[in-house]
Amino acid sequence: MDSILTSIKKLLGITDDYVQFDDDIIMHINTVISILTQVGVGSDLGFYITDKTAKWSDWLTDMTLLQPVKTYIHLRVRLIFDPPTNSTVTKSYEQTIKELEWRLFTTVDPPPVVEEVP
């Protein structure tokens, strides 16, 4: 499944043919993509989706980032669109989001290698 909208909807538990919330979910996905762009993921020019035809491969060329980005977008959209009622689950999502942000940032902008002087 390469469609960004379809895959995020699936993770949210929404079938592809249920389109009543598509505009809301698209807006939230685009917000999260904007955040990821600021972190350095994807093109510096930005990216946004308008419907289910936008594919992950249209946005990300580095496939090593794909799975953590999918998880990150899902969790961020989940917290905005359909937040859990249990505070423990919310904290778990927030911790995972923070860890993924750090890992994605260090992947796209790794710290400089310091060579030891002999």
On whether residue 114 sits in a domain, the answer given is no
**Backbone dihedral angles phi then psi of residue 28, each to the nearest 5 degrees:** -70, -40
pLDDT confidence band for 112 (50 / 70 / 90):
low
Task: Give ∠ CA 80-103-49 in degrees, rounded to 5.
Answer: 45
pLDDT confidence band for 1 (50 / 70 / 90):
low
> If you ran DSSP here, which 8-state letter would residue 73 be given?
H
On whether residue 118 sits in a domain, the answer given is no
**Whole-prediction pTM:** 0.89
On whether residue 115 sits in a domain, the answer given is no
CA gap 5, 28 in Å, rounded: 10
Q: Say which residue, 108 or 16, is predicted with more confidence.
A: 16
Which amino acid, one-letter code, is at 72? Y
Tally of domains within the chain:
1
> If you ran DSSP here, which 8-state letter would residue 63 be given?
G
Per the prediction, the chain carries an average pLDDT of: 92
Is the pLDDT confidence value at 52 over 70? Answer: yes
On whether residue 40 sits in a domain, the answer given is yes
On whether residue 52 sits in a domain, the answer given is yes
On whether residue 113 sits in a domain, the answer given is no
Q: Say which residue, 2 or 114, is predicted with more confidence.
A: 2
Q: Which pLDDT does position 109 carry in this prediction?
A: 79
CB 7 within 8 A of CB 70: yes
On whether residue 117 sits in a domain, the answer given is no
Range of the domain at 98: 4-108
> How does 31-58 read in b/e, with b if 16+ C-beta sit within 10 Å?
ebbeebbebebbeeeebebeebebbbee
Maximal C-alpha separation, the chain: 65
* Range 60-67 average pLDDT: 88
On whether residue 88 sits in a domain, the answer given is yes
